[in-house]
Structure 1
Amino acid sequence: MAGDDAPSGRGVFAPFAVDRRLSRGRRIPEAPSPTRTPFARDRDRILHSTAFRRLNYKTQVFIYHEGDHYRSRLTHSLEVAQIARSIARALKVDEDLTEAIALAHDLGHPPFGHAGERALDAAMTDAGGFDHNAQSLRVVTKLERKYGGFDGLNLTWETLEGLVKHNGPLLGGDKPVPEPILDYCATQDLELDTYPSLEAQIAALADDIAYNAHDIDDGYRASCFSFTALAAVPIAGRLLAEVDAAYPKLEDTRRLYELNRRLITAMVDDASAETHTRLARLKPGSADAIRQAGSATAAFSASMLRELAGLRAFLFASVYRHPRVMRIMGEAEDLVVELFQRYARDPDALPPEWREEARAHDDRAYARHVADFIAGQTDRYALAEHRRLFDATPDMR
């Protein structure tokens, strides 16, 4: 169903941008909006969703109660969306679609970030596993329940495609396709064997840019490393030298911000230049030409990838594997496993609305039902649930 919303028109979009007039539409047809494009409408539905609001109390790296200035999944998503929209504008592709994918990309994250994801995946070993991208798809197609005519948000095919495939094709790789994605594609084919649109690829790059920069910011504020240690990383050391040359004896908080803004600019400029180079070589005449290219079109240069590999190695050693972070995330994994096991053996431990629906499920479907409930929890709700159900709950500090 092409162009289910207005206004239409190509404007100044590049020929390889997703053409809103040729949108494959929504699974449940809806009347067009007189004021918003289909992808702007998707973005707005994501922003107004319950799952998006809950991201405010879900861990990025540091748990919410460790400090008010650390990123949460919500602030991370907003930063990703800002960066993605800027790159999309420079490349003349659809900003609304890019922003919608960026805002939705972490909706499926459980409490306590990747620690919670590892715990749920282990608990779901015999029931299809758990993957946060697949869970994001479940959120926007099933678990959000606010509209009269459908479950989920009834987003366009292009937004769903970008949400599922923003990191590349799912078929033909080393990892199996998550079961919830295969289940959904049985009703609406998201073409898992191709690359996504350039808009989705830009959202994925923006995710990398955002967390590379803000994990430095949060890690330093958490005293995980010193400026001296950071300066030993080539890209950070070079940018710190620029800051110090421009602003001698700058106080630490300003020095940190000046480093981060230069790092973001360097990554954005590199990604834009490399993507322009690949577009010039490919000469795509449509969004489908991007999908069929056989490799990513939006990307960092080889030299930037080498520099970012060094930065990521530093962050892993200094932040993600910091003893305090490891201890807290270990406690978080244990807590999520204990919650899953309790709900799995005792449906009466679930809240009434979840308990009632559980009665209709077989064992495998019930495990997914429990995973849906836990994945929707915020950090603080999961802690409160554990205190309600168990005699001792870790402080995670």
Structure 2
Amino acid sequence: MTTDAQRRVTEPVKDAGGGRSPYERDRARVLHSAAFRRLAAKTQVHTAGTDDFLRTRLTHSLEVAQIAREMGARLGCDPDVVDTAGLAHDLGHPPFGHNGEAALDTVAAACGGFEGNAQTLRVLTRLEAKVYDADGTSVGLNLTRACLDAVSKYPWPRRPGRRKFGVYADDRPVFDWLRQGAPPGERRCLEAQVMDWADDVAYSVHDVEDGIHGGYLTLGLLLADADERAALCADVAATYSGEPPDYLGQVLMEVLADPLLAPLAGYDGSHRAQAALKATTSVLTGRFVADAVAATTARFGPGPHRRYAADLVVPRSLRARCALLKGIALRYVMRRPGAQGRYQRQQEIITDLVRVLTDQAPEALDPVFAPLWHAAPDDAGRLRVVVDQVASLTDPAALAWHARLVD
């Protein structure tokens, strides 16, 4: 067995003589996990359950996996490794999307904060029920080293000045294990880079699609108002891109002048309009993938490439276009009028749940988490278990728990 295919706990060989590969098994384990099922009722951008057209964390994860699989296959990556990474990358996200993530980070300060990607590692290697080691400790889904490394978008612990990170302090042993064989430093494997770009592409293109369908944004506003274009570019520079606003403004004008976007100007929700919208998003996605594959192949050769044999090359203008689409969703969908009151209420719900569960644990915890609370060595460890409990909840479950425990 190669180092990449190793699991933290050795398991008996299954289907000897022609069965599934270790990475196919990893993909199946994620697909059949409880955490993956819960993504169906977790917010992507719009609150889960508010509109049957709009995406949830589950549909977003399926789309990321599909984009990553095809892009990785073109580069020579093992398709099941990048597919698994795409399916698993958001398993740690809490109720209410990034808004819930921010609230949990605040209330979890005493135990090291909260970050969705670090929580994903915790779900995969500890919280999901699948495999135990010889000492009776859960090792979660016990995925291979290659797949765990491919899920690691931010392979470093929390540090000052860095908003994103990929591992909590008490999960450092498994993190060090999965990073064995990686070059010194914080370089990500190619499969993680492919998954991350697939996530950006799906996030940017599909959230704009959802926003246009929901009537939250019209591209005509940007075409007509130079001040509005400047404000958008300032938002993007502050949130999604290190590029200066002037450069983003140039790229934005190129995006708005693209004939591909013309059919979206008069979107009315009809069947024909939906077909035109879908055609636009399909072409945009294809461009983002093809241009990155072409640039990577031009630098590193035709491959096959996997693990640390190459890095994904995303041209500057392509990355700026993606960031601008994300900024459009941020400015006109997430920050739309009336949204702030709902976001504040969601943060109050998360904060209340952590406070009440801290007071009422372990009795108020699920049977999965109560033993972990008893085994925690100190207050910080017990707080982490409470945060794990809240993070595991779907949006409807968080509302129901709040109604039962708080209201």
* TM bucket, shorter chain: 0.7 to 0.9
In structure 2, distance between residues paired with 1:126 and 1:173: 16
Residue type of the alignment partner of 1:199: E
Residue type of the alignment partner of 1:325: A
Tell me, yes or no, if the aligned pair for 1:58 and 1:379 is still in contact at 8 Å: yes
Counterpart among 381, 385, 390 of residue 401 in structure 2? 385
In structure 2, distance between residues paired with 1:285 and 1:78: 23
In structure 1, distance between residues paired with 2:189 and 2:5: 13
In structure 1, distance between residues paired with 2:283 and 2:385: 44
Tell me, yes or no, if the aligned pair for 1:58 and 1:378 is still in contact at 8 Å: yes
Tell me, yes or no, if the aligned pair for 1:39 and 1:159 is still in contact at 8 Å: yes
State the identity as a percent.
35
Question: CA 1:286–1:211 in 2, change beyond 3 Å: closer, same or farther?
Answer: closer
- Other-structure match for 1:109: 93
Tell me, yes or no, if the aligned pair for 1:234 and 1:307 is still in contact at 8 Å: no
Residue type of the alignment partner of 2:195: A
Counterpart among 166, 175, 197 of residue 185 in structure 1? 175
Tell me, yes or no, if the aligned pair for 1:109 and 1:117 is still in contact at 8 Å: yes
Q: Are positions 1:152 and 2:145 aligned together?
A: no
- Other-structure match for 1:257: 278
Q: Are positions 1:199 and 2:214 aligned together?
A: no
Alignment of 1:59-70 (within 5 A): 59-70=43-54
- Other-structure match for 2:350: 336
Counterpart among 381, 388, 394 of residue 372 in structure 1? 388
Tell me, yes or no, if the aligned pair for 2:90 and 2:120 is still in contact at 8 Å: yes
Residues 218-264 of structure 1 deviation map (CA, whole Å, 9 limit, x = unaligned): 1122221124236675455344546649x999943223222211211
TM-score (norm 2): 0.80
Q: Are positions 1:354 and 2:345 aligned together?
A: no
Residue type of the alignment partner of 1:201: Q
- Other-structure match for 2:206: 214
Output the aligned Cα RMSD: 3.0
- Other-structure match for 2:28: 44
| 49-58 vs 323-332, which moves further | 323-332
Residue type of the alignment partner of 1:110: P
TM-score (norm 1): 0.82
Shift of 1:323: 2.6
Counterpart among 73, 84, 90 of residue 74 in structure 2? 90
In structure 1, distance between residues paired with 2:98 and 2:349: 13
Counterpart among 281, 287, 290 of residue 269 in structure 1? 290
In structure 2, distance between residues paired with 1:173 and 1:331: 29
| 370-379 vs 24-33, which moves further | 24-33
Matched residues, number: 363
| 222-231 vs 337-346, which moves further | 222-231
Q: Secondary structure at the match of 2:375?
A: coil
- Other-structure match for 1:19: none
Residue type of the alignment partner of 1:263: L
In structure 2, distance between residues paired with 1:49 and 1:310: 34
Question: CA 1:387–1:206 in 2, change beyond 3 Å: closer, same or farther?
Answer: same
Residues 82-116 of structure 1 deviation map (CA, whole Å, 9 limit, x = unaligned): 10111112112210111011111001001111111
Question: CA 1:73–1:92 in 2, change beyond 3 Å: closer, same or farther?
Answer: same
Tell me, yes or no, if the aligned pair for 2:44 and 2:60 is still in contact at 8 Å: yes
Tell me, yes or no, if the aligned pair for 1:59 and 1:72 is still in contact at 8 Å: yes
- Other-structure match for 2:245: none
Tell me, yes or no, if the aligned pair for 1:169 and 1:195 is still in contact at 8 Å: no
Q: Are positions 1:237 and 2:253 aligned together?
A: no
Counterpart among 122, 141, 146 of residue 125 in structure 2? 141
Tell me, yes or no, if the aligned pair for 1:139 and 1:152 is still in contact at 8 Å: yes
Tell me, yes or no, if the aligned pair for 1:243 and 1:258 is still in contact at 8 Å: no
Tell me, yes or no, if the aligned pair for 2:202 and 2:285 is still in contact at 8 Å: yes
In structure 2, distance between residues paired with 1:229 and 1:183: 51
Residue type of the alignment partner of 1:138: R
